[in-house]
Structure 1
């Protein structure tokens, strides 16, 4: 069974810090091993627990967490890349921390409804829903 701590350890084995690229890497691993629905739960729960442990539970954001897993999951299903570096070379937009602003207004993501529950895109639909 894949756990969030296992994924963190695997990602951090090759990284000096845990930044955005490492978040994408962890999400890629989770999606490949568990599928998108289970990865949403796994990643969201892990981030939420980490934020609580760090004394910053309000840093956890439901919509941002789920949207990133769904975006990575969409691209995982588009390619057969089994190497993370090749995957992000092929889908370099995922390394843009501001990618969600293509789909959401900043005011939407800043709102309490998006922070505490799922809110769908309000600027443009996700590519798999077109």
Structure 2
């Protein structure tokens, strides 16, 4: 079992080690924040925490408002659609979130511009649903 709840606490109190905080950790922490707080409070918690951790690590430009918003909304929607016992179960059931596939909803480069890092852009491409 992972320690996403502990990582969220560390994100909140400013003790999270950003050098060991990977993409899967971001998803797990977002899940925990959304479990504890309303959507907008969780977004603020995660966004402010990640931005502060990136600044402490000397890489303030690593924070991306567009990507944070996209993932927080997608995670919240999936949590609402189905009950998961914990973050590990959520991640196991949603492996596409680990690939960054969500960014396919943005035209080439749109989600990673300097402006997209500062303000959250909405997707500009239609969602293509693959059917099996």
TM-score range, shorter chain: 0.7 to 0.9
Q: 1:67, 1:94 → 2: CA distance? A: 11
Please list every run of 5 or more consecutive structure 1 residues that lacks an aligned counterpart in the other structure: 10-16
Contact 2:11/2:50, CA 8 A, preserved across alignment: no
Q: TM-score scaled by structure 1?
A: 0.78
SS of equivalent to 1:106 = coil
Q: 2:38, 2:128 → 1: CA distance? A: 18
Aligned position for 1:102: 104
Aligned length: 118
- Does residue 24 in structure 1 map to residue 27 in structure 2? yes
Q: 1:81, 1:70 → 2: CA distance? A: 16
Distance change in 2, residues 1:122/1:115 (3 Å): same
Distance change in 2, residues 1:107/1:117 (3 Å): same
Contact 2:8/2:32, CA 8 A, preserved across alignment: no
Aligned position for 1:79: 82
Instruction: Choose which of 106, 120, 123 in structure 2 pairs with 1:121.
Output: 123
Contact 2:106/2:123, CA 8 A, preserved across alignment: yes
Instruction: Choose which of 90, 93, 111 in structure 2 pairs with 1:90.
Output: 93
Please list every run of 5 or more consecutive structure 2 residues that lacks an aligned counterpart in the other structure: 13-19
